[in-house]
Structure 1
Amino acid sequence: MGCDGGTIPKRDELIRTKQKPEQKDKAADLAARWKHCAISQEPLREPVMACELGRLYNKESALEFLIDRTKFECASSFEHLRGLKDLKELNLTENPSYSRPQSMKGDGYVDIQDTKYICPVVGIEMNGKHKFACLWSCGCVLSDRAMKEVKGDKCHKCGKPYQPEDVITLNCANEEVEELQSHMTQRRLQQKLDKKSKKAKKQKLETVPSESSLESGPSTSKQPKMEKPVTKDSKLTNGNKVSKVVANGSQKPSNGIIGATVKNPLGTSLDLPTSGSIQKDPKTSATYKSLFTSSDKAKNQMKGHWVTCNPYWN
């Protein structure tokens, strides 16, 4: 039954010791980081996107997060995401030997390290055991080993050139995150400077043609408005006012044309009749007088009946 003198207790049984902290399984931790979205913790599915700190996201969950941040409890750890400009769609290479995950059973073996994507140069699986990096200029994903073995300034997959600052390590350690944050701030400052320079160039291009058009003269589309002539004191001639125009220096009748002298565009002056009727003016011709209703032909002309509607007789 025990405690009859035959059992000897150990030190662990008599003294309470501090319990060791629980250690998480490294393989499960890597599988969670490399196979699941960092925001929604859902399995990764194409299109896959990455931020400037090397975290992986589903595009759907990233859009939901940008639209409404209150739905997610971990919104404070993703404050660096301001919009789609801060995310890059990845150009991944599929693993031809990848088998879809089946239902986990107790009697079967499930390979957790089997992944859907590999390095296009070396063929290493992207499961977290080896370092992988994303090129921010083109979005291609390559392993660290491939970039060290095949050195160059161009992408080994698409051939586009890139700079050392464009290399972003995916799911890196906490020590490397600070370096990525410094690169992120430098990149954003450079983008702001580029925008300001582009705006300044546009403003210069807009001002140059306007200055050249003013020097050459007024354009046909937009001509400057002519200033109205300023009139001075007027005189009365036969009951009609004749005003003097300051701009041209010629007299112009204001209410009528009787008893005034007007200059033609050609420069010659016209003496208008001083009398009240054009028919009494001896200088005008008979054909010119017949145009007016005060002529004899107009008085003797037959008028149409009020029943008819012929405009010729009106």
Structure 2
Amino acid sequence: MGCDGGTIPKRHELVKGPKKVEKVDKDAELVAQWNYCTLSQEILRRPIVACELGRLYNKDAVIEFLLDKSSEKALGKAASHIKSIKNVTELRLSDNPAWEGDRGNTKGDKHDDLQRARFICPVVGLEMNGRHRFCFLRCCGCVFSERALKEIKAEVCHTCGAAFQDDDVIVLNGTKEDVETLKKRMEERRLRAKVGKKGKKPKAAESVSKPGVSEESPGPSKIKAVKPEENNLDSREKKANSAPKSAAANGSSSGKIGKPLGGAAKRSIADSEESEAYKSLFTTHSSAKRSKEESAHWVTHTSYCF
């Protein structure tokens, strides 16, 4: 069975040696990094965003990732550090005039040159195809080649003129060392933001509590304004009692009966024509001036209690 008919097996067919390590094609890796979304593995389409580690995404894919709150997210490790849309920056990319895209390949009779980049550096003119190092600014989102930033040293963006610092420069699709340094910067930046928020909360609480204290404890102006009102109650009553007299005198002199001014104590209830039961409800009634021994007990007893 087998090896009959004069067949001669070779050594590699009989002896299994160690497997060869498969090497990743560098050209294919560059095409995947610079032309496809890291999260959805689809072709990059505007608007294109980049995270704080320098990876490229489609903005739609990032929004879908943030809205998907299921426990099992597709390719979640690639964007696990993205907690909100504020953690990504929308990029301002310069189109490459030599890139034709799919315009000449409508019938499928033309080869797409993936090595030709869609975007270029607006300062030096280098193509953004992975052969050269590119970076972007977190403050404005403009993309430049690293050579342009080194040759033309400035503290202002070359395109929009926005001021930036060294911490705002993030390398796109950098090496492992670049990713580690960017990760440390990201953690330090987020810690500073948390400390700043905690520092603002006590100040906001103090500003809220101050107006409450002023309302509870009135100032000297309020106290002065209240005391004269309490001390001049007698004078107000005198004015209210004298007002009907003056109105009646004016009415008699003019020959017309004037209407009484105000509804304040014009006459005592004891002099009114109301019933005694109604008058006994007020403190001016004679029953209210009795001593405690003469006053009746409020608790009534029925015959069933005896």
TM-score (structure 2 length as normaliser): 0.65
Tell me which moved more, 43-52 or 76-85: 76-85
Letter in 2 for 1:74: L
Total equivalences in the alignment = 246
* Aligned CA distance change for structure 1 residues 69 and 112 (closer, same or farther; 3 Å): farther
Distance across 1 between alignment mates of 2:107 and 2:13: 39
1:138-190 residue CA offsets vs partner (Å, 9 max, x unmatched) = 11111111111112222222221211111111111222212111100111122
Report if aligned partners of 1:104, 1:110 keep a CA contact under 8 Å in 2: no
Shift, 1:22, TM fit: 2.3
Q: Which residue of structure 1 lines up, in the alignment, with residue 92 of structure 2? A: 91
Letter in 1 for 2:235: N
SS at match of 2:54: coil
Tell me which moved more, 124-133 or 71-80: 71-80
Distance across 2 between alignment mates of 1:268 and 1:225: 20
Report if aligned partners of 2:52, 2:186 keep a CA contact under 8 Å in 1: yes
Does 2:151 correspond to 1:149?
A: yes
State how 1:55-204 maps to structure 2 within 5 Å.
55-70=55-70, 72-101=73-102, 102=105, 109-199=111-201
* Aligned CA distance change for structure 1 residues 109 and 270 (closer, same or farther; 3 Å): closer
Shift, 1:200, TM fit: 5.2
Q: Which residue of structure 1 lines up, in the alignment, with residue 39 of structure 2? A: 39
SS at match of 1:53: coil
State how 1:239-250 maps to structure 2 within 5 Å.
248=231
Q: Which runs of 5 or more structure 1 residues have no equivalent in the other structure?
A: 230-246, 251-262, 272-277, 294-314
SS at match of 1:32: helix
Shift, 1:217, TM fit: 3.3
* Aligned CA distance change for structure 1 residues 172 and 264 (closer, same or farther; 3 Å): same
Shift, 1:25, TM fit: 1.8
Does 2:221 correspond to 1:217?
A: yes
Distance across 2 between alignment mates of 1:57 and 1:203: 40
Distance across 2 between alignment mates of 1:225 and 1:89: 61
Distance across 2 between alignment mates of 1:61 and 1:93: 22
Report if aligned partners of 2:134, 2:146 keep a CA contact under 8 Å in 1: yes
Report if aligned partners of 1:124, 1:143 keep a CA contact under 8 Å in 2: yes
Q: Which runs of 5 or more structure 2 residues have no equivalent in the other structure?
A: 261-306
Letter in 2 for 1:287: S
Report if aligned partners of 1:91, 1:140 keep a CA contact under 8 Å in 2: yes
Shift, 1:225, TM fit: 10
Distance across 1 between alignment mates of 2:64 and 2:75: 13
Q: 2:235 aligns with which of 264, 267, 286?
A: 264
Q: Which residue of structure 1 lines up, in the alignment, with residue 267 of structure 2? A: none
Distance across 1 between alignment mates of 2:18 and 2:259: 125
1:257-302 residue CA offsets vs partner (Å, 9 max, x unmatched) = xxxxxx434988979xxxxxx9xx9xx8583995699xxxxxxxxx
Identity %: 40
Letter in 1 for 2:24: K
* Aligned CA distance change for structure 1 residues 3 and 145 (closer, same or farther; 3 Å): farther
Structure having the higher helix fraction is 2
Report if aligned partners of 2:48, 2:59 keep a CA contact under 8 Å in 1: yes
Letter in 2 for 1:82: K
Report if aligned partners of 2:37, 2:43 keep a CA contact under 8 Å in 1: yes
SS at match of 1:264: helix
CA RMSD, 1 decimal: 4.2
Shift, 1:123, TM fit: 0.8
Letter in 2 for 1:178: E
Report if aligned partners of 1:264, 1:270 keep a CA contact under 8 Å in 2: no
Structure having the higher strand fraction is 1
If asked which structure has higher relative contact order (CA below 8 Å, sep 6+), I would say 2
Letter in 1 for 2:252: T
Q: Which residue of structure 2 lines up, in the alignment, with residue 299 of structure 1? A: none
* Aligned CA distance change for structure 1 residues 195 and 4 (closer, same or farther; 3 Å): closer
SS at match of 2:89: strand
